[in-house]
């Protein structure tokens, strides 16, 4: 019966799709990042260090989930002139509401807020977004939006367009400080969900690279795929502010939210910020991103893509290439490139999710097609075990605060890898939103920061040397080279070998095998 209802809904959506269309004429008032912000509080605080490190950017990794949230809240609270926020997902949960309240309070202080969201995950949020947009200092734009706001299935006839999404993530205050990385906005990204936690990585950046983040934001904000919210929804409701305050009051009264906020306030990073002693690494860094027009033109338009830049940087490694990608579907071309690197003596290691840890089964099926081929060429594969919340949040000595990810919720029952980071020759590292899959390469837009940092790159490689083998299954060929095995090592020194993929029952295995033969790889 549920399947019948779904089919009827899809059929109805297709029938009415012709009735839903985006507005033909949209008034977009162009705007750019503010440049005269050296006199702001952030500018003054950073001035001595920027002067001491001319021409370089300061980078601070945000590996722990609560630190990543604290950094965003503190940046919103410190901003005096502008906040530019760009996200693929912004949930209306505890952390989402707290950040909305923080940017509203900033707007009340006179801060100009530009909020750019991909429209794929905004279902049900129109009243909240409209209320925010109604504030004279806040403007909301939706990237590549759905035309039908109440019945999104009505847009299925426009699937080829809506299948292209903006996956970028950045948070910039006063054009002085920016956060870039893999985290969206939602409880699972910031350690506020005890049931689901994503291991992830962002970097907090200051210096010249921040202006590059702002320039990237401006390109997307002023692009014709970014629609002012008012052009899609019409006049804002008069009681919008009341709705927002009611939501925020509920969060403040929620004991779970209170405990989370207390835990965030107790993070060492908060004290470090208050005492102005964040230990930035000063180095060269640059933003790499897709052109926003990528979503409107053929996936074959390489001049609009980030992928060739990443291939140029990381495909020429001489000694070592370490890849962390939660959604890893290399495709024939990617698998061939990794095989060629391994053939010329480059140590290639990949960490991705196991079936038990992934949140997208079709992606796992897409990845599984390439496992044996990659192993035969010498590529080393690791699959994160379910609940391995410490694999990327500790350094080699077992201390917290490592790279590339976080401990998710700090105790979640279902941890999943979400960090996207690559290191080459223990000298350069990329942190951003790009997955090694066809969707990131060809369909979605992505961004990240390429950092010349032996410290961060070596720390990631060090995790592969010492920590990851204990917290992830190592997949390798059995001695006869005809079958695979999964090695489960424990920090205590024990070892278990599986000759079939751990945690997958018969029906699940049949389902994965079925998905792997479907012609859907280009959408994964």
The domain spans of the chain are: 57-274, 284-523
Q: Which two tokens stand for residue 248?
A: 């925020």
| In the chain, % of residues over pLDDT 90 | 76
pLDDT at 73: 97
Identify which of 285, 291, 311 has the alpha carbon closest to the alpha carbon of residue 422. 311
Contact 124, 134 (CB under 8 A): no
Query: What mean pLDDT is reported for the chain?
Result: 90
Whether the domain at 57-274 and the domain at 284-523 fall into the same CATH topology: yes
Residue 420 designated active-site: yes
Residue 84 pLDDT > 70: yes
Residue 347 designated active-site: no
User: What's the rounded Cα separation, in Å, for the pair 396 and 235?
Assistant: 55
pLDDT tens, 249-300?
999 999 999 999 999 999 999 999 988 889 999 999 999 999 999 999 999 8
Contact 79, 210 (CB under 8 A): no
Contact 192, 409 (CB under 8 A): yes
User: What's the rounded Cα separation, in Å, for the pair 195 and 351?
Assistant: 23
pLDDT at 479: 87
Residue 364 designated active-site: no
Fold of 284-523: Endonuclease; Chain A (3.30.870)
Q: Which CATH number, 2.130.10.10, 3.30.870.10, 3.20.20.70, 2.40.128.110, labels domain 57-274?
A: 3.30.870.10
Identify which of 296, 237, 231 has the alpha carbon closest to the alpha carbon of residue 21. 231
Residue 425 designated active-site: yes
User: What's the rounded Cα separation, in Å, for the pair 312 and 450?
Assistant: 12
Annotated catalytic residue, options 119, 291, 390, 425: 425
Residue 149 pLDDT > 60: yes
Identify which of 161, 358, 228 has the alpha carbon closest to the alpha carbon of residue 366. 358
Residue 452 designated active-site: no
Annotated catalytic residue, options 67, 84, 118, 174: 174
Annotated catalytic residue, options 167, 294, 394, 463: 167
Give me the half-sphere count of Cα atoms (radius 13 Å) on the Cβ side of residue 215.
11
pLDDT at 19: 52
Q: Which helix (H) or strand (E) holds 52?
A: helix 41-52
Annotated catalytic residue, options 91, 135, 394, 418: 418
| In the chain, % of residues over pLDDT 70 | 91
Residue 169 designated active-site: yes
pLDDT at 227: 97
User: What's the rounded Cα separation, in Å, for the pair 152 and 54?
Assistant: 50
Give me the DSSP letters along 102-149: HHHHHHHTT-EEEEEEEGGG-TT-HHHHHHHHTSTTEEEEEES--S-S
Kindly state the average pLDDT of the residues 354-379.
93
């Amino acid at each position: 019966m549920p399947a019948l209802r779904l089919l009827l809904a899809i059929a109805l959506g297709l029938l009415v799709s012709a009735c839903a269309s985006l507005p033909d004429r949209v008034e977009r008032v162009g705007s750019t990042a503010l440049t005269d912000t050296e006199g702001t509080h952030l500018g003054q605080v950073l001035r001595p260090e920027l002067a001491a490190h001319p021409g370089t950017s300061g980078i601070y990794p945000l590996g722990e989930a609560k630190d990543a949230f604290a950094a965003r809240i503190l940046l919103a609270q410190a901003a005096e002139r502008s906040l530019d926020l760009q996200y693929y997902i912004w949930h209306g949960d505890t952390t989402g509401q707290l950040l909305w309240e923080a940017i509203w309070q900033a707007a009340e202080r006179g801060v100009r807020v530009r909020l750019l969201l991909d429209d794929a995950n905004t279902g049900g949020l129109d009243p909240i977004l409209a209320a925010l947009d109604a504030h004279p200092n806040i403007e909301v734009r939706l990237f590549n939006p759905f035309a039908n706001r109440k019945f999104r299935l009505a847009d299925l006839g426009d699937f080829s367009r809506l299948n292209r999404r903006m996956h970028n993530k950045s948070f910039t205050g006063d054009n002085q400080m920016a956060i870039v990385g893999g985290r969206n906005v939602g409880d699972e990204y910031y350690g506020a969900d005890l049931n689901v936690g994503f291991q992830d990585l962002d970097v907090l950046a200051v210096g010249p690279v921040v202006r590059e983040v702002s320039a990237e934001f401006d390109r997307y904000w002023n692009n014709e795929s970014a629609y002012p919210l008012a052009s899609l929804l019409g006049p804002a409701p008069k009681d919008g502010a009341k709705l927002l305050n009611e939501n925020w009051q509920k969060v403040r009264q929620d004991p779970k939210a209170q405990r989370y906020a207390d835990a965030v306030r107790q993070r060492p990073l908060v004290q470090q910020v208050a005492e102005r002693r964040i230990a930035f690494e000063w180095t060269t860094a640059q933003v790499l991103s897709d052109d926003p027009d990528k979503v409107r033109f053929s996936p074959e338009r390489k001049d609009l893509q980030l992928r060739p830049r990443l291939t140029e940087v990381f495909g020429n490694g001489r000694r070592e290439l370490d890849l962390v990608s939660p959604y890893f579907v290399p495709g024939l071309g990617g698998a061939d490139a990794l095989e060629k690197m391994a053939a010329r003596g480059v140590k290639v290691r990949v960490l991705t999710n196991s079936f038990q840890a992934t949140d997208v089964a079709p992606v796992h099926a897409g990845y599984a097609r390439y496992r044996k081929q990659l192993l035969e060429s010498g590529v080393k594969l690791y699959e994160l075990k379910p609940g391995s919340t410490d694999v990327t949040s500790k350094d080699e000595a077992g201390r917290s605060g490592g790279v590339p990810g976080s401990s998710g919720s700090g105790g979640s029952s279902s941890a999943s890898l979400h960090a996207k980071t690559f290191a080459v020759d223990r000298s350069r590292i990329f942190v951003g939103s790009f997955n090694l899959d066809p969707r990131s390469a060809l369909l979605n837009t992505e961004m990240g920061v390429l950092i010349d940092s032996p410290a961060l790159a070596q720390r990631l490689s060090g995790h592969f040397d010492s920590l990851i083998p204990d917290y992830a299954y190592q997949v390798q060929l059995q001695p006869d080279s005809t079958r695979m095995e999964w090695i489960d090592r424990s920090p205590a020194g024990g070892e278990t070998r599986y000759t079939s993929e751990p945690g997958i029952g018969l029906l699940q295995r049949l389902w994965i095998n079925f998905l792997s033969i479907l012609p859907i790889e280009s959408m994964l």
